[in-house]
A = this chain, B = another copy of it.
Amino acid sequence: MNPKAYLEEKRRLVNEALERFLPSPRRRPRRLHQAMRYSCFAGGKRLRPILAINSFELTGGEGERILPAACGLELIHTYSLIHDDLPCMDDDDLRRGKPTLHRAFDQGLALLAGDALHALAFELLASSGSLKVVVEVSQAIGSQGIIGGQVADVEAEGVKIPPREVKYIHTHKTAALFRASLRIGAILGGGSEEELGCLSKYGERLGLLFQIVDDILDVEGERERLGKPVGSDQRRGKATYPSVWGMEESKGEAKRLARLAKREVEKMGPRAGFLHWLPEFILTRRG
């Protein structure tokens, strides 16, 4: 299948599964369930669950057994965006062209909706039947993973930091969950240690690439395609690749990471065709 059609098909599959896994908005507490759904169905790309699904399939997994864990990853991603947008963090008003959750509802409810998605994610991850999957994600999102990166990100605001520090931030804040997504797919698909190793490295590189492109788009992107104002990182004095390494260097690094990621999955042959295509797609994305 053409990779863009694959992406589209899996996105639909994930959206349908999320619809089933999220509590009904008619069930109490209704406003909470409405808030959870508002953020989950705000037009996400579903990249993390799709990575898990693809990794599951290419390591020999069959059927839809991967879906609860894949959706768990998306809920984790959504919860972390909700908390990141709060006034005590990035204080963002827009996300994917819509008001952020605390703007559409209120701060208290946004905090709790994030917490509830966090908890539901672990219920879904556990229903994969694998304790390794639960541990993998809890480590990827904890103080040595996403949250470690977010803390370093906040601490770096308005401060001059060395280039390796922005790599630390991006690796933890973004790449850790990409890596975990690919690993989870391979764990549930029954991949070998070697496959797990390849996919882990691929995930780290893809995640870092994704975040660098995000930084570049915040400078050069178009507001309409991004669904948020351009230049917000700079206004906030955020540590980004362009601000620390310079724009040309950042673009070069993105290309280098795309090359390295592709090389990593070349070892796996044609069955890894989608993963081989993806870095270029991310490199040229506009929103």
Number of copies: 2
- Residue on B nearest A79 in the bound complex, by CB: B115
Which residues of chain B are near A154, meaning CB under 8 Å?
A: 108-109
Question: Is A89 engaged at the interface, CB distance under 8 Å to the other chain?
Answer: yes
Question: Is A119 engaged at the interface, CB distance under 8 Å to the other chain?
Answer: yes
Contact A29 B127 (CB under 8 A): no
Question: Is A5 engaged at the interface, CB distance under 8 Å to the other chain?
Answer: no
Question: Is A112 engaged at the interface, CB distance under 8 Å to the other chain?
Answer: yes
Contact A111 B138 (CB under 8 A): no
Q: Tell me which of A140-148, A184-192, A197-205, A257-265 binds B.
A: A140-148
Contact A134 B126 (CB under 8 A): yes
Question: Is A36 engaged at the interface, CB distance under 8 Å to the other chain?
Answer: yes
- Residue on B nearest A128 in the bound complex, by CB: B131
Which residues of chain B are near A115, meaning CB under 8 Å?
A: 80, 83, 118, 147
Give A88 to B114 CA distance when docked, in angstroms: 14
- Residue on B nearest A90 in the bound complex, by CB: B108
How many chain A residues have a CB neighbour from B under 8 Å? 47
Question: Is A19 engaged at the interface, CB distance under 8 Å to the other chain?
Answer: no
Interface centre among A122, A131, A135 (most CB of B within 10 A): A122
Which residues of chain B are near A148, meaning CB under 8 Å?
A: 28-29, 32
Give A116 to B32 CA distance when docked, in angstroms: 22
Contact A112 B151 (CB under 8 A): yes
Give A107 to B145 CA distance when docked, in angstroms: 20
Q: A118-B118, A134-B122, A135-B126 are in contact. Are A143 and B107 (CB under 8 A)?
A: no
Which residues of chain B are near A122, meaning CB under 8 Å?
A: 122, 134, 137-138
Q: Chain A interface (Cβ within 8 Å of chain B)?
A: 23, 28-29, 31-33, 36, 80, 83, 86, 88-89, 106-109, 111-112, 115-116, 118-120, 122-123, 125-127, 129, 131, 134-135, 137-139, 141-145, 147-148, 150-152, 154-155
